Amino acid sequence: EVNLEGFITHELPMSQINQAFKLLNEGKTLRCLLHVASSAVGLSG
């Protein structure tokens, strides 16, 4: 079993997707998790 959570080095909101790609391109992150707001995908709570 592989613990994949250990590979997530950054967590950012979807609004910062450009920053996430910048971190990836600069080699400053291994894996970046983007959080999507439920309102952005048409879900209601």
- Tens of pLDDT along the chain (45 residues)? 888 888 899 999 999 999 999 999 999 998 999 999 876 666 665
- How many Cβ atoms are within 10 Å of 32's Cβ, its own excluded? 19
How many angstroms from the chain centroid is the CA of residue 4?
14
Given this model, what pLDDT does residue 10 score? 95
Given this model, what pLDDT does residue 26 score? 96
Q: How do the domains of the chain map onto residue ranges?
A: 4-41
Backbone phi, then psi, for 27, in 5-degree steps? Answer: 70, 25
State the Cα–Cα distance between residues 10 and 37, nearest whole angstrom. 17
Given this model, what pLDDT does residue 38 score? 72
Given this model, what pLDDT does residue 3 score? 85
Which residues sit opposite 13 in a β-bridge? Answer: 35
Backbone phi, then psi, for 15, in 5-degree steps? Answer: -65, -15
